Chain A
Amino acid sequence: AQTVTQSQPEMSVQEAETVTLSCTYDTSENNYYLFWYKQPPSRQMILVIRQEAYKQQNATENRFSVNFQKAAKSFSLKISDSQLGDTAMYFCAFMKRVGGSQGNLIFGKGTKLSVKP
Chain B
Amino acid sequence: GAGVSQSPRYKVAKRGQDVALRCDPISGHVSLFWYQQALGQGPEFLTYFQNEAQLDKSGLPSDRFFAERPEGSVSTLKIQRTQQEDSAVYLCASSLGSGSGQPQHFGDGTRLSIL
Contact = CB atoms under 8 A, between A and B. Distances in A.
A45 B100 contact: no
B56 interface: yes
B101 interface: yes
Contacts of A106: 45
A43 B108 contact: yes
A47 B96 CA distance: 14
Contacts of B48: 101-102, 104
Given A44-B106, A44-B107, A102 B45 contact: no
Interface string B20-55: 000000000001010100001111110010100001
A109 B56 contact: no
A110 B98 contact: no
Interface in B64-115: 89, 91, 93, 95, 97-109
Contacts of B8: none
B16 interface: no
Nearest to A32: B101
Nearest to B42: A107
Nearest to B41: A109
Interface string A39-62: 000111111001010000000000
Interface in A94-117: 95-110
11 contacts: A33-B100, A33-B101, A46-B106, A95-B100, A96-B100, A101-B48, A104-B33, A104-B45, A105-B45, A110-B41, A110-B42
Given A98-B100, A100-B98, 15 more contacts: A42-B108, A43-B109, A44-B3, A45-B43, A47-B104, A95-B101, A97-B101, A101-B31, A101-B48, A101-B98, A103-B101, A105-B45, A106-B45, A107-B42, A109-B40
Interface of B: 3, 31, 33, 35, 40-45, 48, 50, 55-56, 59, 89, 91, 93, 95, 97-109
